[in-house]
Amino acid sequence: MSLHADKRQALVIGAGLSGSAVAYSLATRGWAVTVIDKAEGPGAGASGLPAGLAAPHVSPDDNVLSRITRAGVQATLQRAKALLHSGTDWALTGVLEHNLAGKRRLPVNATDHHSAPASAAQVAAAGLPPDSPALWHAQAGWIRPRQLVAAQLRAQGVQVRWGQQVQGIERRGDGWAVTNVQGQTLGQAPWLVVASAFDSLALLRPLPGLTVPLNPLRGQVSFGHLADLNEAQRQLLAPFPVNGHGSFISGVPTPEGLPGWFIGSTFERNCEQAPVREEDHTANEVRLATLLPALGLAMAGQFDPERVQGWAGVRCTLPNRLPAVGPVDRKRLPGLCLSTGMGARGISLAVLCGELTAAWLNGEPTPLPDALIKHLAADRFVSA
């Protein structure tokens, strides 16, 4: 049974991929949603990644992470198709995975026909030697996260309050209140969803019986303009993204709107700041040389400081590499939900987590079986 109409109101802290996905999923079900964010506009945090991939994780035993990310990628691609412009905001290109470590093997009895060993033609198109181990993910592609965030926040029923620094959350009456550093109330509603990435940790710490072990993960992407490449370099560009040791994407608009190339990202654990660093451009140059050796060799000069551009952001992770989603503690903390801890898989998981949250709050069947949901459920971090 869905909630009474006057209870279908929610506050969402965080206007990134996670928060905007929750807001959109609730608003399209008739909820009134107020999103609160400290930034002045979309894409200020990790969701400002200039370009990223929606691609499944595969494993020989088709483990929990593989099954969840496969469902997540499908949800993201459906949302992108509905809200974004193909070719400029996203594209269903397929993704070739260069299986460098040899770990990304398909299950023996795989029933998912969207992932398969890459063909000789696909390996050649990527510029790799014929014997290179590689997989092909047909239901995968690139997305510009900021465009997805902005589109989700435009849903009817969503109101965004930008430039509001949340200091605390508290149970007040039959609902939740959000306050700033001056103690002023920024919003009240029967339901509150905390979706503010690593900033969620400070808001959750004071709550009794709840320990969510979020860890910061800094990542840097290096990029440049295709117009700066010579003809020989352009001839080596694959017609689709390649991942496996980071990812390489080309032909996607840069933040300035010009067609560009992108390589990354780096992984730096326990780092809460996100400056762009020259040494990380060097790390991404090595990453490209490992992922696509011929292209990496040809593009070495593109990583010179006067040419390369960079973006860095802080994601947050949880120990089992899966997010914390949904109601936290229905008895002690009724009305409080989470959607955080996406790590480097925000593009692949945020939309699915938004749909899960909305299904729980709206009293609907969930889009995942219980056997998978238990690995995502936020209440796994509640102590007795």
Is residue 212 scored above 60 in pLDDT?
Answer: yes
Radius of gyration from C-alpha coordinates of the chain: 21
Last residue of a domain, one of 294, 317, 340: 317
Query: Is residue 193 located within the same domain as residue 151?
Result: yes
Tokens matching residue 38: 């400290």
Answer yes or no: is 72 within a domain: no
Answer yes or no: is 78 within a domain: no
Q: Measured in whole angstroms, how far is the alpha carbon of residue 65 from the centre of its chain?
A: 14
Query: Is residue 313 located within the same domain as residue 325?
Result: no
The 10 Å Cβ neighbour count of residue 39 is 18
Q: CB neighbours of 99 closer than 8 A, spacing ≥ 6?
A: 105, 133, 134, 135, 244
Q: Domain of 196: which CATH number?
A: 3.50.50.60
> To the nearest whole number, what is the mean pLDDT of the chain?
93
Query: Is residue 223 located within the same domain as residue 306?
Result: yes
Omega prior to 265 cis, within 30 of 0: yes
Tokens matching residue 189: 């509603």
Query: Is residue 107 located within the same domain as residue 224?
Result: yes
Task: Check if the beta carbon of residue 147 is closer than 8 Å to that of residue 89.
Answer: yes
CA distance 58 to 181: 44
What DSSP letter does each residue of 33-60 carry, written as one string?
EEEE-SSSSTTSSGGG-S-EEE-----T
Answer yes or no: is 82 within a domain: no
Considering only CA atoms, which of 175, 167, 211 is closest in space to residue 328?
Answer: 211
CA separation (Å) from 152 to 25, 157, 178?
9, 11, 22
Average pLDDT, stretch 215-224? 95
Considering only CA atoms, which of 43, 29, 34 is closest in space to residue 13?
Answer: 34
Q: CB neighbours of 85 closer than 8 A, spacing ≥ 6?
A: none
Is residue 207 scored above 80 in pLDDT?
Answer: yes
Taking the CA of residue 225 as centre, how many other CA atoms within 13 Å lie in the half-sphere pointing to its CB?
8
CA distance 317 to 214: 6
Answer yes or no: is 76 within a domain: no
Q: What pLDDT is stored for residue 225 in this prediction?
A: 96
Q: CB neighbours of 105 closer than 8 A, spacing ≥ 6?
A: 58, 59, 60, 99
Average pLDDT, stretch 55-84? 95
Instruction: Name the DSSP letter for residue 45.
Output: S
The 10 Å Cβ neighbour count of residue 136 is 19
Query: Is residue 186 located within the same domain as residue 274?
Result: no
Tokens matching residue 152: 């989700």
Q: Domain of 272: which CATH number?
A: 3.30.9.10
Query: Is residue 11 located within the same domain as residue 22?
Result: yes
Write down the residue that tokens 């802290």 correspond to: 13
Query: Is residue 128 located within the same domain as residue 235?
Result: yes
Tokens matching residue 17: 């991929």
Binning the chain into helix, strand and coil, the percentages to the nearest 5 are 30, 30, 40
Count of the separate structural domains present in the chain: 2
Answer yes or no: is 261 within a domain: yes
Answer yes or no: is 284 within a domain: yes
Give the ranges where the chain is alpha helix by DSSP (H): 17-27, 64-83, 120-125, 145-153, 200-204, 231-235, 278-291, 293-298, 346-362, 370-373
Report the alpha-carbon angle 377-380-383, nearest 5.
150
Task: Check if the beta carbon of residue 274 is closer than 8 Å to that of residue 268.
Answer: no
Query: Is residue 353 located within the same domain as residue 304?
Result: no
What DSSP letter does each residue of 185-227 carry, written as one string?
EEEEESEEEE--GGGHHHHHTTSTTB----EEEEEEEEEEEGG
Q: Print the domain residue range for 347.
A: 5-46+147-214+320-381
Q: Residues 283-317: pLDDT tens digits?
A: 999 999 999 999 999 998 999 999 999 999 999 99
Which range has highest mean pLDDT (108-117, 135-144, 316-325)?
A: 135-144
| pLDDT band per the 50, 70, 90 thresholds, residue 4 | very low
Answer yes or no: is 342 within a domain: yes
Q: Residues 338-377: pLDDT tens digits?
A: 999 999 899 999 999 999 999 999 999 999 999 999 999 9
Last residue of a domain, one of 266, 285, 317: 317
Query: Is residue 338 located within the same domain as residue 194?
Result: yes
| pLDDT band per the 50, 70, 90 thresholds, residue 222 | very high
Query: Is residue 335 located within the same domain as residue 350?
Result: yes
Answer yes or no: is 41 within a domain: yes
Query: Is residue 227 located within the same domain as residue 273?
Result: yes
Higher pLDDT, 108 or 8: 8
Query: Is residue 222 located within the same domain as residue 308?
Result: yes
Last residue of a domain, one of 283, 298, 317: 317
Q: What is the dihedral of CA 298, 300, 301, 306, to 10 degrees?
A: 140
Q: What pLDDT is stored for residue 335 in this prediction?
A: 96
Q: What pLDDT is stored for residue 107 in this prediction?
A: 75
Q: Residues 84-102: pLDDT tens digits?
A: 999 999 999 999 999 877 6
Q: What pLDDT is stored for residue 2 in this prediction?
A: 38
